[in-house]
């Protein structure tokens, strides 16, 4: 599906995972994406999550958004996000369409920013887990440094396929979540 001609959402550029310096423009890009999505999904909550939401946290440079749709609203949320031009992520290891991730890109300040929109039910445990992980890292620069070192180690081992990279980080993420409980 191609993006509507009036949409700033562009096709996603699949690239190998890499650990890039944190871009201070990321929060503004996230705000612009949220402002684009919010009007088409009444009652949804959209938050900036992932490394780009954490100052000085190097990562893949992908703007991750968590879209918590209203109860029973998965189909409507998928249709609304798709209607903006976001694309289904259909690749080995991608999230199932019952817990979808939509992908796209947007140009800002002469740079193409890739974006992932994670669509989650309001009662999904992952909602609070995502918030907790983000907030713990925002509050602890040493934890950020440990997370970046973990990601660099994963890349150094040659793990650069997005879903595999994500799985390789899962032990670190799980530990941080458990320590915060």
Q: E strands along the chain, which residues? A: 45-49, 63-68, 87-88, 101-108, 111-120
Q: What confidence score (pLDDT) does residue 69 get?
A: 98
Looking at every residue in the chain, the average pLDDT score rounds to 94
Predicted model pTM = 0.93
Residue ranges of the domains in the chain?
26-174
SS (H, E, C) 12-30: CCCCCCCCECCCCCHHHHH
pLDDT 10s digits, 12-62 = 999 999 999 999 999 999 999 999 999 999 999 999 999 999 999 999 999
Tell me how crowded residue 126 is: count the other CB atoms within 10 A of its CB: 14
CATH superfamily label, 26-174: Beta Polymerase, domain 2 (3.30.460.10)
Of the ranges 20-24, 87-91, 105-109, 115-119, which one carries the lowest mean pLDDT score?
87-91
Q: What confidence score (pLDDT) does residue 89 get?
A: 86
pLDDT 10s digits, 49-97 = 999 999 999 999 999 999 999 999 999 999 999 999 999 988 777 788 8
């Amino acid at each position: 599906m191609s993006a509507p001609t009036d949409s700033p959402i562009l096709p996603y550029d699949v690239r190998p995972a890499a650990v890039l310096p944190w871009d201070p423009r990321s929060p503004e890009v996230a705000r612009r994406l949220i402002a684009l999505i919010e009007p088409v999904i009444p009652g949804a909550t959209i938050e900036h999550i992932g490394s780009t939401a954490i100052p000085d946290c190097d990562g893949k440079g992908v703007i991750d958004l968590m879209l918590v749709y209203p109860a029973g609203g998965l189909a409507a949320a998928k249709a609304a996000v798709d209607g903006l031009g976001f694309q289904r992520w259909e690749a080995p290891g991608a999230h199932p369409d019952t817990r979808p991730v939509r992908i796209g890109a947007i140009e800002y300040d002469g740079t193409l920013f890739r974006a992932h929109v994670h669509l989650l039910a309001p009662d999904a445990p992952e909602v609070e887990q995502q918030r907790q992980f983000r907030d713990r890292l925002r509050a602890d620069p040493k934890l950020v440094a440990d997370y970046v070192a973990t990601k660099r180690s994963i890349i150094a081992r040659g793990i650069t396929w997005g879903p595999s990279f994500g799985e390789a980080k899962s032990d670190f993420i799980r530990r941080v979540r458990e320590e915060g409980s």
